[in-house]
Amino acid sequence: MIRNHRNLAAATFTSSGAPRAELVRRSLVAVALGTAALFALLTQLGENGIVALWQLKRETTELNREVADLQQHNDRMKHALEALANDPETLERIARRYGFRREGEEVLQVLPQRGVRSQDNRPLP
């Protein structure tokens, strides 16, 4: 009788174990697929994902372009500063633009006549 009981227990374990093992296997596969899908979603959309990487690359390109523009502007300003420091004609031209004059020099201002029109046919004040 013990022998039959062992065979019955073995048969029960084998027959009910196969569906249980299949259930465990399917559950593990589902968890693995869910984890992989979540990982893929986070790498695509997360704070450090591909979309964020593309946005950072675009920003980097724009900032590099802005740096190049500012460098060109800086170079122009350096040349203007050198001209002011070393070229007396440039310095005089700028000073006269702001109404400066040499000592003893008289500045005459020519005003347009009334009723005279400008080149685009507008009346001058």
Which residues are CB-neighbours of 52 under 8 A, at least 6 positions away? Answer: 46
67 pLDDT higher than 90: yes
Domain coordinates of the chain in residue numbers?
1-45, 47-101
- If one compares 99 and 17, the residue with the highest pLDDT of the two is 99
DSSP-H helix ranges across the chain: 2-45, 50-86, 88-97
Residue 87, SS3 per DSSP? coil
Which backbone phi and psi does 117 adopt, to 5 degrees? -105, 155
Which residues are CB-neighbours of 125 under 8 A, at least 6 positions away? Answer: 112
Q: Write out pLDDT tens, residues 91-107.
A: 888 888 888 888 888 87
What pLDDT, on a 0 to 100 scale, did the predictor assign at position 107?
79
Q: Check if the beta carbon of residue 44 is closer than 8 Å to that of residue 51.
A: yes
Highest mean pLDDT among 5-9, 19-23, 53-57, 120-124: 53-57
